[in-house]
Amino acid sequence: MRATGSLPTTSDAAWAGVRDRLRARGLRWTPQRRTLIEVLSRSDGHVTGAELVERCRESDPGTIPSTVYRTLDVLEQLGLLSHSHGADGREEFHVLPAAIHGHLHCIDCGTTWEIEADEAAGLVESLERRRGFAVDVTHLSIAGRCSDCTATLDAAAATDAGGTGDGDAWAS
Amino acid sequence: MRATGSLPTTSDAAWAGVRDRLRARGLRWTPQRRTLIEVLSRSDGHVTGAELVERCRESDPGTIPSTVYRTLDVLEQLGLLSHSHGADGREEFHVLPAAIHGHLHCIDCGTTWEIEADEAAGLVESLERRRGFAVDVTHLSIAGRCSDCTATLDAAAATDAGGTGDGDAWAS
DNA sequence: GGTCATATCGCAACGGGTTGCATTTGGGGC
DNA sequence: GCCCCAAATGCAACCCGTTGCGATATGACC
């Protein structure tokens, strides 16, 4: 595990100032926070809370979940990450959102895709105009079935004509 | 609590055939399911899982959570309800969805609104066309700030010019 | 009415996440 | 270098929901 100096999946630069940004707000720089930041700086942008706890434990076996979650809240307030909920409702953290974006979630294969703000722009504007509702795009998580899984499913249906049958009410 | 014959918030008719629909599929009609159905038939359309467990306990103190959740799954397969996740990721059940619809969720006041399929149609079509992704509109839950809360917030900001300041990255 | 397969139940343990509170500790001020 | 207070930690209990499994009971068939 030691990863002597490489594997920087997200830009290290962005994390460099965290300590000072915390201090500037009267918040503190602690070993536990340092551990989490290090884990985050190595992550590829999409992680669940439980995964983060797990990875923190790799560096510091004494890691306590509540500490991690509380720190994640703080970092979210600093704008260093955002979270949404997967199709199953579990927390999913998005590290260093370079651009404001939402997520697409395939209920069959579980894959996640990002959707850029402009893809949702129509919806956002329409809700804003018609209801004055300001959508939090970063929290937006859309469930459904991806093209691959739809194809697989169609093929299966064609083969054993009859198939599973149920629960596809929404796949118009 | 006996509600001798009234308080039917959702159409009773829709629930009448449940027993037979279950049987037709080789599923069973049990006292526990009867209890849950009765609770659902009195509900106003939007409930959390925990609320349902709680209300079932009112009629039958011996109610076990896992039984309730499992029955909810079954009913969802029958199309009698659908679920999504609130802004906090908790399960939210939508009873007897008369029309396919998604939900809007104010992160400040917690109110929920329904959005009809056509309001999301633009998004749905665009995702279908551009990615072949079939959106599950019934599971769609959009977080953001409603017009009232936005107004309140703006007023507050105008007053003590400075305000809370943070975390509003998305309220473009 | 009795038999039997199996759907469902009850229960207990678990997983992810949150909360309240006593204790510790960062770090600014002296 | 030391003091002090608020921020943060650790811990324990809790909440919501899920899962595995042995025990029970529905309801189809006779």
- Four-residue CA torsion sign, B147, B148, B153, B154: positive
pLDDT at B51: 97
Q: Which of residues 64-83 of A touch strand C (CB under 7 A)?
A: 65-66, 69-70
Identify the burial level of B66 via C-beta atoms within 10 angstroms of its C-beta, where 0-12 means exposed, 13-18 middle and 19 or more buried.
exposed
Instruction: Provide, as residue numbers in chain B, all residues whose Cβ is less than 8 Å from the Cβ of A141.
Output: 141
Beta bridge partners of B135: A144
Per-residue three-class SS string for A126-170 = HHHHHHCCEECHHHCEEEEECHHHHHHHHHHHHHCCCCCCCCCCC
Name the nucleotide with the smallest C1'–CA separation from A52: C16
Q: Tokens at residue A73, please?
A: 């809240």
The SS3 of residue A33 is: helix
Residue A125 predicted with pLDDT over 70: yes
**B14 neighbors B96 (Cβ within 8 angstroms):** yes
Q: How far is the CA of B36 from the C1' of D30 (A)?
A: 33
User: Strand A112-116 relative to strand A81-85: parallel, antiparallel, unpaired?
Assistant: unpaired
Residue A3 predicted with pLDDT over 60: no
Mean pLDDT in chain A?
86
Instruction: Provide, as residue numbers in chain A, all residues whose Cβ is less than 8 Å from the Cβ of B170.
Output: 100, 134-139
Among A162-166, B144-148, B149-153, B156-160, the range with the most confident prediction by mean pLDDT is B144-148
Residue B11 predicted with pLDDT over 80: no
Mean pLDDT of B109-135: 91
Residue A4 predicted with pLDDT over 50: no
The answer to whether B123 contacts A120, with C-beta atoms less than 8 Å apart, is yes
Q: Which residue has the tokens 């079932």?
A: B56
Mutation for testing the A interface, residue in B91, B94, B146, B170 having most A CBs under 10 Å: B170
Mutation for testing the B interface, residue in A145, A152, A170 having most B CBs under 10 Å: A170
Residue A144 touches partner B, C-beta closer than 8 Å:
yes
Mean pLDDT of B110-114: 89
Residue B37 CA to residue B29 CA, distance in Å, equals 11
Residues of chain A above pLDDT 90, percent: 66
Mean pLDDT of A115-128: 91
- Of residues B156 and A60, the one with the higher pLDDT is A60
Q: Tokens at residue B14, please?
A: 């829709």
- Residue B72 has a CB neighbour count (10 Å cut-off) of 20
Q: Tokens at residue A21, please?
A: 């940004």
Q: How far is the CA of B26 from the C1' of D28 (A)?
A: 10
Mean pLDDT of A14-28: 92
Confidence bin at A15 (pLDDT 50/70/90): confident
**For nucleic chain D, which protein residues have CB less than 7 Å from any of its atoms?**
A 22, 26-28, 30, 32-33, 62-64, 66-67, 70-71, 74, 88-89; B 22-23, 28-31, 48-50, 53, 65-66, 69-70, 90-91
Residue A31 touches partner B, C-beta closer than 8 Å:
no
Name the nucleotide with the smallest C1'–CA separation from A83: C17
Q: How far is the CA of B24 from the C1' of D10 (A)?
A: 55
pLDDT at A165: 44
pLDDT at A16: 86
Residue A2 predicted with pLDDT over 80: no
List, for residues A26-37, the tens digit of each pLDDT value: 999 999 999 999
Residue A121 predicted with pLDDT over 80: yes
In which order are the strands placed within the sheet that holds A101-106? A112-116, A101-106, A141-145, B134-135
List, for residues B47-106, the tens digit of each pLDDT value: 999 999 999 999 999 999 999 999 999 999 999 999 999 999 999 999 877 788 999 999
pLDDT at B10: 63
Confidence bin at B161 (pLDDT 50/70/90): low
pLDDT at B67: 98
| C19 C1' closest Cα residue | A66
List, for residues A64-112, the tens digit of each pLDDT value: 999 999 999 999 999 999 999 999 999 999 987 778 899 999 998 888 9
